[in-house]
Structure 1
Amino acid sequence: MTAAVVETDTLVVGAGQAGVAMSEHLSRLGVPHLVLERNRIAEAWRTCRWDSLVANGPAWHDRFPGLEFPGLDPDSFAPKEQVADYFEAYARQFNAPIRTGVEVRQVVRNAGRPGFTVDTSQGPIQARRVVVATGPFQIPVIPGIAPQDPALQQLHSAHYRNPEQLAAGAVLVVGAGSSGTQIADELQRAGRTVYLSVGQHDRPPRAYRNRDFCWWLGVLGLWDVAAMQPGREHVTIAVSGAHGGRTVDFRELAQRGLKLVGLTQSFHDGVVTFREDLVENLAKGDENYLSLLDAADAYVQRNGLQLPADPQARRVFADPDCVTRPILELNLAQAGITTIIWATGFTSDYSWLKVDAFDAKGKPQHQRGVSTEPGIYFLGLPWQSRRGSSFIWGVWHDAKYVADQIAIQRQYSTYHEAAERKTDAALLDPSSAKAALGA
């Protein structure tokens, strides 16, 4: 016997932070919906991160408005398992209709009738609307320059768990955003010789004048910047909540023994070459850091705030040897490097979404998450509406907007269906039609 086809108004694909936020707002508006998750709720926090990871923002900030982290100091940084537990608890608060262990295989627009046919591992679903809440961190990217050397252990930061996982020997970490920097720091603290390849980056202060940088970006309006500056698409951010939260200072890391190198350029015959841009990249990071301190000082003065001065924040560490005499190439074997960790980001896979919602490069075409394909919505994209969109609190606000747009479309549909019923009734009763026309 063929199972009955499930029908719903809105189908949400993914039950991470974006999917949970979406479900809350749809529930608030009374929109019938289902959330499908192929693994567990917030699975990426549990199994796609390294063991010691904590949230990069403090607990008072990196959360949804409707629930605090239980038993956690608001100024501390939640461990990854507690973050995953948080989203599970949040979903239980409003009985989110989440089905786990269900994979969405394909979404196709229906022909000649509204909505979409969604093929899943548990059978087809008919949905009037689909929200893609799969997040930006889907497929780990390892650049094509990676050496084809079976003797080298190579893994993406998404698959790194702890120092004991790696072969004995030195490690080259490629990428100095938050993930690469924290992993390199952990390995160096574990006694490894570590080379960290540093590209362009921003590095905000962890805290300044007794306020976390998340607070400063908020009061300065920087979370709400609507678009990335042209040419800064590949600029990473180096920030960490590890060890109670510390400002990332690459010179300080080098003073403790970590070896800095420039952007990784190529591998050939067991030799890796680096661009001669380390000094420039550090200088631009310093510029970003100091600009935030200056903006914070101006804000304090302008508003007459009684926040303590913080002269130590402007302390400059001396340039280490690896900066004054940059390493431009390394023989991997001679340097004892047995492992390369690629902290080089992710790409997205929308091959299952058979709709006209993408540009020539395969990126979603949307306005604040509302796709160019009617009935398709996106949530959790970087810069979806603002700088803060891909952060925990930011995705909650984006979800509210998307849910409101869905509710508006439902109003139009409700009117159309009521008008059709009225027309059909008039056709069945001509006298009603004459009366309606004033005859």
Structure 2
Amino acid sequence: MNAPPLPDHRDSREVVIVGAGQAGLSLSHALRQRGIDHLVLEKHTPMHVWREQRWDSFCLVTPNWQCRLPGWEYTGPDPHGFMTKEQLLPWLDGFVRHVDAPLRCGVEVTRVAAARRGGFDLATSAGPLHAAQVVVASGGYHRPIVPRLAERLPADVLQLHSAQYRHPAALPPGRVLVVGNGQSGAQIAEDLHLAGREVVLACGSAPRCARFYRGRDVVDWLADMGYYDMAVQDHPLREGVRDNTNHYVTGRDGGRDIDLRRFAREGMQLYGTLEGLEGTRLRFAPTLRESLDNADRVYNGINASIDQHIARLGLAAPPPTVYEPVWQPEAERTALDLREAGISAVVWCIGFHPGFEWVDLPVFNGRGQPGHLRGVSAVPGLYFLGLPWLHTWGSGRFSGIARDALFLAEQIQARAAGRAAAASRRAADAAVDIATA
């Protein structure tokens, strides 16, 4: 970006936090405890994504006991259950009230740039602003990904991104094509399938995991084994783990596995990766068998690591099991005609692009992702919070936000103290100069 520098102005804060989701508000809570001047700017309303970009039957895929925001933990009667959207939203609204952040809603930040006088200049829809430090807490999922071939689909085929999907009855009669089988794709396909809709699912390479294994939720086992505390630099993939697709599983109806093979046995049509469109004919890669096998390999691999943990500690638990496929594709199907199949709607579940163009500072890699260490960027005073694998696997979950926010609050406090000490030294030196003049 080569926009001219923003003008100097008087409205200045020590810290500006951009985004009032669980990350931004968690940091606000930590800064307020430290008495650090700050302002939270939110383009929409607090927790907007949870309210506006989740379907009606949405529920958490991690158990309620992991809902541990700063000073606001889940205290309901079902710690090992999974809050539905109707239950989650009041809990999040309670956190908003609990934090009582210095918040301005309906304010969009359109640019953050280095200021001539130090710190950062922000251009916002409410006017210019200066901050000594800035925290980008707007998440990492900004622009829904929809492939260019979508432009060539017949006009009478309804197209939605997963962020727009609400419930099966909102789609026109006919078969529904769901593209992508990550967490959202698999759960939306299940939602449609359970409602009696005919579903065609184009599968990618998403892994899966068991909901329960050897008498406990798999999340409970993995938490005991330290998986949610593993730092990104200690992971075998290092920063590459940030590109991994989340495992698909569901907390619906008390929690269960999502087994695409069982869905296929019940009538769902599974295909490999969607590759192209010629007229009304969709083209798929012959990758279905490989995708299903890889998902099961991950599933059994996670369970095997739990087996090793149980054996190593000599824990009492039900005997181990290994998942055996309940269905196999007879052959790879590589084409489907939209008209012949009666496809009336497509739900794109292939993720989001990052949208940090408004951050006019040299901290991004070639894929538009910010470079950082535990949220601390290479530009002094610029931080990121609320990103998947910001520091650990728990960073993108309610369970890890408090730790990440506390760490950044400590960095911010130290930098503010350093700036204050430097200002005091300059003032003292100036006083000496005047006295000896």
Q: Give the AA of the match of 2:135.
A: V
Given that residues 10 and 33 in structure 1 are in contact (C-alpha distance below 8 angstroms), is that contact kept between their aligned partners in structure 2? yes
Shift of 1:147: 5.0
Given that residues 62 and 219 in structure 2 are in contact (C-alpha distance below 8 angstroms), is that contact kept between their aligned partners in structure 1? yes
- Tell me whether 1:297 sits opposite 2:307 in the alignment: yes
Aligned counterparts of 1:84 and 1:352: Cα–Cα separation in 2:
29
- Tell me whether 1:260 sits opposite 2:270 in the alignment: yes
Given that residues 26 and 70 in structure 2 are in contact (C-alpha distance below 8 angstroms), is that contact kept between their aligned partners in structure 1? no
**Partner of residue 217, structure 2:** 212
1:21-420 to 2 correspondences below 5 Å: 21-64=26-69, 66-111=71-116, 113-146=117-150, 148=152, 149-223=154-228, 224-226=230-232, 227=235, 229=237, 233=243, 235-309=245-319, 311=321, 314-320=322-328, 323-420=329-426
Q: Deviations over 1:34-76 (max 9, x none)?
A: 1111221101101111111011111101332522335341111
Larger radius of gyration: 1
Shift of 1:159: 0.6
Shift of 1:118: 1.7
Q: Name the TM-score, length of structure 1 as normaliser.
A: 0.91
**Partner of residue 16, structure 2:** 11
Provide closer, same or farther for how the CA distance between residues 405 and 57 of structure 1 changes in structure 2, counting only shifts above 3 A. same
Q: Extract unaligned runs of 5+ from structure 1.
A: 432-439
Given that residues 200 and 234 in structure 1 are in contact (C-alpha distance below 8 angstroms), is that contact kept between their aligned partners in structure 2? no
Provide closer, same or farther for how the CA distance between residues 92 and 357 of structure 1 changes in structure 2, counting only shifts above 3 A. same
Query: How many pairs align?
Result: 423
Given that residues 67 and 73 in structure 2 are in contact (C-alpha distance below 8 angstroms), is that contact kept between their aligned partners in structure 1? no
Provide closer, same or farther for how the CA distance between residues 315 and 202 of structure 1 changes in structure 2, counting only shifts above 3 A. closer
Given that residues 179 and 347 in structure 2 are in contact (C-alpha distance below 8 angstroms), is that contact kept between their aligned partners in structure 1? yes
Q: Give the AA of the match of 2:140.
A: P
SS at match of 1:53: coil
Shift of 1:214: 1.7
Given that residues 261 and 325 in structure 2 are in contact (C-alpha distance below 8 angstroms), is that contact kept between their aligned partners in structure 1? yes
Aligned counterparts of 2:163 and 2:253: Cα–Cα separation in 1:
21
Q: Deviations over 1:16-51 (max 9, x none)?
A: 111111112212222211111122110110111111
Given that residues 375 and 384 in structure 2 are in contact (C-alpha distance below 8 angstroms), is that contact kept between their aligned partners in structure 1? yes
Q: Which moved more, 1:263-272 or 1:362-371?
A: 362-371
Aligned counterparts of 1:268 and 1:388: Cα–Cα separation in 2:
42
Aligned counterparts of 2:312 and 2:253: Cα–Cα separation in 1:
33
SS at match of 2:13: strand
Aligned counterparts of 1:283 and 1:175: Cα–Cα separation in 2:
16
Provide closer, same or farther for how the CA distance between residues 341 and 211 of structure 1 changes in structure 2, counting only shifts above 3 A. same
Aligned counterparts of 1:100 and 1:178: Cα–Cα separation in 2:
30
Aligned counterparts of 2:333 and 2:366: Cα–Cα separation in 1:
39
Shift of 1:127: 0.9
Q: Deviations over 1:264-288 (max 9, x none)?
A: 1111111111111111111111111
Provide closer, same or farther for how the CA distance between residues 236 and 70 of structure 1 changes in structure 2, counting only shifts above 3 A. closer
Shift of 1:81: 4.0
Given that residues 200 and 236 in structure 1 are in contact (C-alpha distance below 8 angstroms), is that contact kept between their aligned partners in structure 2? no
Q: Name the TM-score, length of structure 2 as normaliser.
A: 0.91
Q: Give the AA of the match of 1:347.
A: H
CA RMSD in angstroms comes to 2.0
Q: Give the AA of the match of 1:136.
A: G
Given that residues 15 and 134 in structure 2 are in contact (C-alpha distance below 8 angstroms), is that contact kept between their aligned partners in structure 1? yes
Q: Give the AA of the match of 1:281.
A: S
SS at match of 2:36: coil
**Partner of residue 422, structure 1:** 428
Q: Give the AA of the match of 2:149.
A: I
Given that residues 110 and 122 in structure 2 are in contact (C-alpha distance below 8 angstroms), is that contact kept between their aligned partners in structure 1? yes
Provide closer, same or farther for how the CA distance between residues 49 and 334 of structure 1 changes in structure 2, counting only shifts above 3 A. same
SS at match of 1:27: helix
Given that residues 167 and 338 in structure 1 are in contact (C-alpha distance below 8 angstroms), is that contact kept between their aligned partners in structure 2? yes
Given that residues 61 and 214 in structure 1 are in contact (C-alpha distance below 8 angstroms), is that contact kept between their aligned partners in structure 2? no
Aligned counterparts of 2:96 and 2:337: Cα–Cα separation in 1:
51
Shift of 1:86: 2.3
Given that residues 5 and 123 in structure 1 are in contact (C-alpha distance below 8 angstroms), is that contact kept between their aligned partners in structure 2? no
SS at match of 2:64: coil
Aligned counterparts of 1:94 and 1:162: Cα–Cα separation in 2:
32
Identity rate, percent: 36
Q: Give the AA of the match of 2:353.
A: T
Q: Deviations over 1:120-149 (max 9, x none)?
A: 222222211110000012111112233512
Q: Deviations over 1:170-208 (max 9, x none)?
A: 011000011001111111111211011111122111111
Aligned counterparts of 1:428 and 1:85: Cα–Cα separation in 2:
60
Aligned counterparts of 1:105 and 1:331: Cα–Cα separation in 2:
43
SS at match of 1:330: strand
Q: Give the AA of the match of 1:140.
A: P
**Partner of residue 436, structure 1:** none
Q: Which moved more, 1:193-202 or 1:25-34?
A: 25-34
